[in-house]
Copies of this chain bind each other. A is one copy, B any other.
Amino acid sequence: MIMSLTKEHFLKTIGKKIKTLREAKGLSQYALSDESGISRSQIVRLENGDLNCTLATLLVLAETLGVEPKDLLDV
């Protein structure tokens, strides 16, 4: 049964996943920003579920964190 996810819940859950993966790699938000080229403020908003980013940003994040893009949506 595909539970209808609200946009807010969907973004918050992805944000938690990004944070978990970042911390598992021992990266600070600054370090992830440096490695990915995504601004630190965007990373903060992403991890809080406050940024509805694009697929290209998701791809860069996934590659920086060493996972497949779909893994960031495995929520």
Number of copies: 2
Given contacts A68-B2, A69-B73, A73-B73, contact A55 B53 (CB under 8 A): yes
9 closest A-B pairs by beta carbon, nearest first, are A70-B73, A70-B70, A52-B54, A7-B56, A52-B56, A69-B73, A10-B59, A70-B74, A54-B54
Counting chain A residues whose Cβ lies within 8 A of the other chain, the interface size class is: 20 to 34
Beta-carbon contact of B56 and A55 below 8 Å: no
CB nearest neighbor in B for A71: B70
Q: Max chain B CB contacts within 10 Å: which of A5, A67, A68, A73?
A: A73
Binding site for B on A (CB under 8 A): 2, 4-5, 7, 10-11, 14, 52-56, 58-59, 62-63, 66-71, 73-75
